[in-house]
């Protein structure tokens, strides 16, 4: 492989693959033209900008770093996102050309050089768990049910292909051939190395001085480099062990990355590994450990912990969340960083799901209170001791739940503990509430109305409500003679923005009723239990009054104080 070459020459005659311990495809595609471009959109936009320009220089695709396995087999260390997108782009491009006419002999040769020769010589394939999907859907262009795709990376691959396919649908042959010429002749630079340690060093150097990789990627590279330095006769088996663990990690990432960021999981793993909620700087802390202690032993133990964290959160977020209301509620409220290390420990200790649900229900209440009350008081320090005492030798969750109940019920005279008590909660829900938090409360209220005192009713999942939005029953902008109370100063400041005047609607429903008279709004309230509750409350009323708002507000407050 030449140091300075073209994309076509780089691919031709070679087999390039993404090693299993590398991340999967992570470039996103934006299909809404009103929203900012994502990476795949920018890829196409840059090509078109070059195509329209008058420059005579070749389009430059950047630098690619490879680990050379054999004379023609290369693992891509840096540049795989670009390579994956290039092959997806070319496959969609050739598909469109073939729909217009048969490929010429020269075009067949280009395709064989850059995508596939015959039926099985693939120039580039992605990570193993997405490999078959990539071959079937992208290279062989077989139809696939995108709703059955397991990983987020597989969904991104299909979405990118569909984006290019759709974009090319109304393009003429001249446009397509010009783009094919640009991409096959595009220049690039390559650096294949046979020494994996050198490749890892180059990755660290290159990515710490330009685009920033995730902390997890940097740490993975540092771990592998340290094994090359200190692994001695066990180096090969240690490297295989670490690669296998990161293969599991990246598979987990591809399943849960829409729920949680990989570097957040890294921080939570630090907190589990060192049994401290105060850990915040993974790279600094891990570098310290590598320099002060036996690096090989630390790498083995920490990567074990890291793999367990990802496995626990994959179970928690993608499996158990679907079947357990308590977990779904906690995940839905969001921003649960203080909770997550407790959850990882619970899964690591093999606790039954009933205990995990109890933890989630208890944490839901304190997270919600913390958000509603808006205190700057540090909750970490109040939970630190019960976290440290939650160990494999002491897996009882009752002390944790007990501490949270203490925070909720303690008298306000004990100022250091009482920031989250019932008195503070009651004060915090009298007036205006952050809209996302209010939506959460009304969803919980919806579930309460649906199942309270009844048997056999399934929980109302938040994601079953179509694009839920917060609606003001009495609209924020006054519209005379519309069936609402008088918009005086008292009404505007005390009644317009409060729980009694909020209702949960789907986005379509919300936009359809807008600023309409109360009667029309009321008649449209036919779906959720809280909508039907408004209808029942106003059977004998034509005006949505402040007295009705106060009455409904009190019902919701009573629910919050008794249930949350």
Please name which of 504, 449, 200 lies closest in space to residue 332, comparing C-alpha atoms: 504
Give the pLDDT means over successive 10-residue stretches in the chain (564 positions): 92 92 91 92 94 88 91 91 97 97 96 91 93 94 83 94 96 96 94 78 56 83 89 90 92 92 97 97 93 91 97 96 95 96 98 98 97 94 98 98 97 94 96 95 93 65 87 88 90 95 92 88 92 94 95 97 92
> Phi and psi dihedrals of 308, rounded to 5?
-65, -40
> Tell me, what DSSP letter sits at residue 214?
P
Distance CA 456, CA 315 (A): 27
17 in Cβ contact with 130 (< 8 Å): no
What percentage of the chain has pLDDT greater than the value 70? Answer: 96
| CA quadruple 213, 219, 223, 226: dihedral sign | positive
61-74 tens-digit pLDDT: 999 999 999 889 99
pLDDT given at position 456: 55
Neighbouring residues of 203: CB distance < 8 A, sequence distance ≥ 6? 65, 77, 78, 221
The domain locations on the chain are 4-193, 203-428, 435-442+452-558
Token pair listed for 134: 């990539």
pLDDT given at position 55: 82
Residue 524's SS3 state is: helix
Pairing type for strands 187-193 and 468-472 reads unpaired
Please name which of 564, 446, 433, 550 lies closest in space to residue 505, comparing C-alpha atoms: 446
């Amino acid at each position: 492989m030449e140091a300075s070459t073209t994309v076509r020459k780089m691919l031709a005659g070679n087999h390039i693959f993404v090693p299993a311990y590398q991340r999967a495809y992570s470039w996103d595609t934006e299909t809404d033209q009103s929203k900012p471009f994502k990476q795949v959109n920018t890829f196409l936009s840059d090509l078109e900008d070059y195509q329209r320009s008058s420059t005579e220089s070749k389009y430059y695709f950047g630098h690619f770093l490879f680990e050379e396995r054999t004379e023609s087999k290369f693992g891509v260390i840096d540049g795989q996102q670009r390579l994956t997108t290039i092959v997806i782009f070319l496959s969609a491009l050739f598909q469109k050309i073939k729909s217009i006419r048969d490929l010429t002999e020269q075009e067949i040769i280009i395709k064989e050089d850059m995508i596939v020769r015959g039926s099985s010589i693939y120039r580039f394939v992605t990570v193993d768990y997405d490999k078959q999907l990539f071959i079937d859907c992208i290279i062989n262009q077989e139809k696939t049910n995108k709703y059955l795709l397991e990983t987020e990376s597989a969904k991104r691959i299909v979405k990118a292909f569909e984006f290019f396919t759709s974009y090319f649908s109304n393009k003429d042959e001249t446009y397509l051939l010009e783009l094919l010429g640009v991409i096959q002749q595009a220049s690039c630079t390559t650096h294949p190395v046979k020494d994996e340690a050198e490749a890892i060093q180059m990755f660290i150097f290159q990515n710490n001085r330009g685009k920033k990789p995730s902390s997890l990627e940097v740490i993975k590279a540092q771990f592998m480099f340290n094994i090359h330095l200190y692994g001695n006769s066990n180096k090969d088996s240690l490297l295989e062990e670490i690669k296998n663990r990161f293969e599991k990690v990246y598979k987990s990432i591809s399943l849960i990355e829409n729920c949680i960021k990989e570097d957040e999981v890294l921080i939570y793993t630090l907190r589990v590994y060192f049994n401290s909620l105060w850990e915040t700087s993974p790279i600094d802390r891990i570098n310290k450990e590598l320099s002060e202690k036996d690096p090989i032993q630390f790498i083995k133990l920490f990567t074990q912990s890291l793999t367990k964290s990802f496995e626990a959160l994959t179970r928690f977020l993608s499996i158990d969340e679907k079947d357990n209301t308590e977990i779904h509620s906690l995940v839905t409220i969001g921003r649960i960083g203080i909770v997550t290390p407790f959850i990882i420990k619970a899964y690591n200790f093999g606790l039954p799901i009933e205990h995990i649900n109890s933890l989630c229900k208890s944490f839901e209440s304190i997270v919600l209170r913390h958000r509603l009350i808006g205190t700057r008081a540090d909750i970490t320090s109040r939970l630190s001791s019960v976290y440290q005492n939650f160990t494999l030798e002491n897996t009882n969750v009752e002390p944790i739940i007990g501490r949270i109940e203490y925070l909720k019920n303690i008298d306000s005279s004990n100022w250091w503990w009482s920031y989250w008590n019932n008195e503070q909660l009651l004060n915090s829900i009298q007036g205006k509430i952050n809209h996302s938090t209010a939506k959460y409360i009304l969803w919980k209220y919806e579930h309460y109305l649906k199942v309270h005192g009844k048997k056999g009713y399934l929980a109302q999942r938040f994601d079953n409500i179509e694009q839920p939005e917060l609606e003001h029953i009495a609209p924020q902008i006054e519209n005379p003679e519309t069936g609402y109370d008088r918009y005086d100063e008292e009404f505007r400041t005390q009644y317009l923005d409060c729980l009694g005047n909020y209702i949960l609607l789907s986005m379509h429903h919300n936009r359809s009723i807008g600023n309409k008279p109360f009667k029309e709004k009321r008649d449209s309230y036919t779906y959720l239990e809280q909508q039907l509750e408004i209808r029942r409350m106003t059977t004998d009323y034509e005006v949505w009054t402040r007295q009705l708002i106060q009455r409904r507000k009190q019902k919701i407050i009573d629910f919050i104080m008794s249930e949350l």
